[in-house]
């Protein structure tokens, strides 16, 4: 799992649970009907807003983002320099045999090997990047909508609890516990929105931005290979995507390749 995600989950949930334990009885924060209203209502509204396939894809993407490491941009630059060296020595057709786990990189290599011109390559890759951003936007929007629905259903549960509490006005001793139960649904909704759904949406967005940058590295590297296929030129263009302090010298990259 991504280290930042792990620290965030442990520290966030740990601090909230610790505050509850230190402040009193944990059982006071447990209310099954309230959980049913918030979780059930949030999922129902989400399924009403999106197709089931999109919701399922969103949860799978969230698991993938939190469980898989982010691709290193410097390693990707190294890969593009290596591809440029291979194509320079063996010809562009040799890129057809490149083995990679990235469908985007494989498609780039196939287009170059098929003698696609620069304009065709630019058009195909731009369409691929924009399509990826649109797909990721839907995934992020699922969690943004859930973050919006959860507090709303929490408030709805509170209203239900208050109505039930008003029916107990004849028994003043029961008003305190009834009020606490009524407020719990708002607590559940706010907790889910702030501690789970919004952070997941933010994490997905940051991973999308990183993936777009990596796609741009592949795209610009492919264009450089078509233009002059000079490893130094490829390195100079692609190194701009990496912060200056993290850039590795060209010599070290060539040694590793």
Summarised one tens digit per residue, pLDDT across range 166-195 is 777 777 666 766 777 778 899 999 999 998
Q: How long is the chain?
A: 257
Asked if residue 255 has pLDDT above 50, the reply is no
The radius of gyration of the chain's CA atoms, rounded to the nearest angstrom, is 26
Quickly list H helices, the chain: 3-23, 32-35, 41-49, 52-67, 73-90, 103-113, 118-166, 175-192, 198-227, 231-238, 250-256
DSSP string, 177-213: HHHHHHHHHHHHHHHHIIIIIHHHHHHHHHHHHHHHH
Label residue 145 by pLDDT band (50, 70, 90). Answer: very high
Q: Is the dihedral of CA 248, 249, 255, 257 positive or negative?
A: positive
Please tell me the predicted confidence (pLDDT) of residue 39.
93
Please tell me the predicted confidence (pLDDT) of residue 250.
63
9-44: per-residue pLDDT in tens? Answer: 788 888 888 887 887 677 778 888 888 999 999 999
Contact 204, 222 (CB under 8 A): no
CA-based nearest residue to 222, from 64, 107, 130: 107
Q: Domain locations in the chain?
A: 1-30, 31-256
Residue 10 has which token pair? 């442990």
Residue 31 has which token pair? 């209310």
pTM score over 0.75 = yes
């Amino acid at each position: 799992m991504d280290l930042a995600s792990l620290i965030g989950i442990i520290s966030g949930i740990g601090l909230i649970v610790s505050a509850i334990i230190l402040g009193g009885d944990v059982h006071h924060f447990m209310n099954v009907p309230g959980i049913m209203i918030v979780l059930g209502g949030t999922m129902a509204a989400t399924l009403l807003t999106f197709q089931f396939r999109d919701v399922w894809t969103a949860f799978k993407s969230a698991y993938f983002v939190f469980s898989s490491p982010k691709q290193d941009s410097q390693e990707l630059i190294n890969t593009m320099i290596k591809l440029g060296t291979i194509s320079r020595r063996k010809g562009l057709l040799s890129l057809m045999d490149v083995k990679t786990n990235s469908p985007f990189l494989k498609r780039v290599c196939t287009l170059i090997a098929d003698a696609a011109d620069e304009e065709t390559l630019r058009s195909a890759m731009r369409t691929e990047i924009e399509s990826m951003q649109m797909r990721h936007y839907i995934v992020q929007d699922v969690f943004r909508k859930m973050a919006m629905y959860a507090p709303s259903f929490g408030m709805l549960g509170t209203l239900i609890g208050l109505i039930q509490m008003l029916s107990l006005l004849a028994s003043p001793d029961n008003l305190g516990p009834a009020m606490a139960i009524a407020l719990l649904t708002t607590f559940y909704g706010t907790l889910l929105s702030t501690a789970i759904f919004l952070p997941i949406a933010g994490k997905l967005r940051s991973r999308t931005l990183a993936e777009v940058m990596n796609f741009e590295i592949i795209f610009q590297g492919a264009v450089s290979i078509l233009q002059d296929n000079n490893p130094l030129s490829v390195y100079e263009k692609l190194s701009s995507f990496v912060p200056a302090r993290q850039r590795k010298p060209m010599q070290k990259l060539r040694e590793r390749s």
